Amino acid sequence: MAVTRFAPSPTGYLHIGGLRTALFSWLWARKTGGKFLLRIEDTDLARNSEDALDAIIKAFDWVGMSYDGEVLYQSKRFDIYKKYIQQLLDEGKAYKCYMSKEELDALRESQMAAGERPRYDGKYRDFTGTPPEGVNPVIRIKAPTEGTISFVDGVKGDFCVSADEVDDFIIARSDGTPTYNFVVAIDDALMGLSDVIRGDDHLYNTPKQIVVYNALGFKLPKFYHVAMINNEQGKKLSKRDGATDVMEYEKLGFLPEALLNFLVRLGWSYGDQEIFSLEEMVELFEPKNLSKSSSNYNLDKLLWLNAHYIKNTPNSRLADLLHPFGVDIREHDKNELLLDATKERGKTLVELAEQIKLILHRPEAYDEKAVKKAFKGDAKEILAEFAEMLQSWEKALHLPCDYHEVLEKIVETKEIGFGKIGQPLRISLLGSMTGSGLDEIMSIIGVEETVQRINKAIAEIE
């Protein structure tokens, strides 16, 4: 059973790269019958945002990725970190460093001038003298001075760095607050993580965290460092490209299952399959099959997936989902027909809502180009005769097929092509040449509204 986690920082909103990492971790935990834990890395008290924290929790609720147990907040665990810092000091595995910022800056400048990699030189590693006055020390851990630090990454394979690439890094600042790599290693160990799945921007943090694991005698988890998501041009993903707050995708009219399906395919595959239900993802996901290469964000692919899920969503749920987009058809007597007529045309809930509004709301204006094309010759006469035919039709008009009979009759009676009635009728009903089937539209709005829209178009279009 795998124990995994997602550990966002509440200094910004959860974006899709973070959600993808969380999804991979969640899938592995669920597949193995293990646990998926949520930890909020909020030790940067000055930059934390309550709004960002709320948005992270809300995003998990929206996509339906439940976490196990209570949310763990690092800001409430400072006493634990202090205990381990003191343990390392007592065991001689960490020490107080009194080097001032000015000294450290001067050291780095001289190293860079000499063509060396900037690093702390271990000045206070074995210091036994009198500490300088007026300097609040930081705490540094004793990193190995020779050999290598290595691990087997589940995505990238063997990873090894020379010990001299990891200096005695700071584990507690001069004000006593612990640093990132220190608290991450402690929390991952104490939470019992078996697998750490994260972005490969953390790859070079891992050797430092291994130093902490080894110093405290903790068992190493299995690491998987996932390649980043790039934009469509293969460059770093920006907000403009889609790396925005996950909840913005809800506002843009994307379904959570479409977004998860999109994200799981950015860095993982199962043959040529493109459509995955959440249940299929859990069944088929294996972190060892994560790609070593970066993935490219593709908005067209996301829209295609979203359109697929909209088409296959039960109408009752679609009606609920559309409500926040200004369309309330939950009690509409033709809501089933309305959704069947429009959901093939909407790639997002926003687009679907607009298609529905086109049908339900009488047009206030008419597309000029479409009018010039369709309203010529005897178009108005044909429309007027069609309106009269609707009102005098012997059988009740309810279903789209009923209205289609009337359309066939006007075509037969006037000996015209379908376009001669279809094009001006569409403009009369919707204001443009786009939209659902004419028989479906008339069935939804009924005879009276159809006739009123036709008469309005005849009167207003010159």
Mean pLDDT across 230-234? 82
- What is the reported pLDDT for 20? 95
Per-residue pLDDT at 41 exceeds 80:
yes
Q: What is the pLDDT of residues 15-25, one digit of tens each?
A: 889 999 999 99
% of the chain with per-residue pLDDT over 70: 98
| Residue % of the chain over a pLDDT of 90 | 73
Topology given in CATH for the domain delimited by 368-460: Arc Repressor Mutant, subunit A (1.10.10)
Q: What is the pLDDT of residue 242?
A: 64
**Digit-coded pLDDT (tens) for 401-447:** 999 999 999 999 988 899 999 999 999 999 999 888 999 999 999 99
Q: Work out whether strand 138-141 and strand 94-97 pair parallel, antiparallel, or are unpaired.
A: antiparallel
* 78-226 matches 1-67+227-312 in CATH topology: yes
The mean pLDDT of the chain is: 92
Least confident piece of the model among 102-116, 152-166, 283-297: 102-116
Q: Is the pLDDT of residue 239 over 70?
A: no
Beta bridge partners of 442: none
Sign of the CA dihedral with 323 first, then 454, 440, and 369 last: negative
Question: What gap in Å lies between CA 323 and CA 353, rounded to an integer?
Answer: 9
Q: What is the pLDDT of residues 373-401, one digit of tens each?
A: 988 889 899 999 999 999 999 999 999 99
pLDDT category at 101 given cuts 50, 70, 90 is confident
Annotated binding residues, written as ranges, equal 239
Q: Which of 15, 4, 11 is nearest to 39 (CA)?
A: 4
The answer on pLDDT for 234 being more than 80 is no
* pLDDT tens per residue across span 188-203: 999 999 999 999 999 9
CATH of domain 1-67+227-312: 3.40.50.620
Residue 4 pLDDT > 90: yes
- Write the pLDDT tens digit of every residue in 321-343: 999 999 999 998 899 999 999 99
Residue 241: pLDDT band (50, 70, 90) is low
pLDDT of residue 202: 93
- What is the structure's pLDDT at 105? 84
Q: Could you tell me which CATH number the domain at 78-226 has?
A: 3.40.50.620
Domain residue spans of the chain: 1-67+227-312, 78-226, 368-460
Average pLDDT for 242-267? 92
pLDDT band of 117, cuts 50, 70, 90: confident
Least confident of 49-53, 288-292, 352-356, 449-453: 49-53
Q: Which amino acid is at 341?
A: A
Decide: pTM greater than 0.75: yes
Distance CA 28, CA 22 (A): 10
Give pLDDT tens digits for 362-375: 999 999 998 999 88
Taking phi over 0 as left and psi of -120 to 50 as alpha, with beta for the rest, 5 belongs to beta
pLDDT of 54 higher than 70 = yes
Whether residue 243 is predicted with pLDDT greater than 70 in this model: the reply is no
Q: Which positions make up the binding site for ATP?
A: 239
Taking phi first (over 0 means left), then psi (-120 to 50 degrees means alpha), and beta for anything else, what does residue 40 get? Answer: beta
pLDDT of amino acid 355: 94
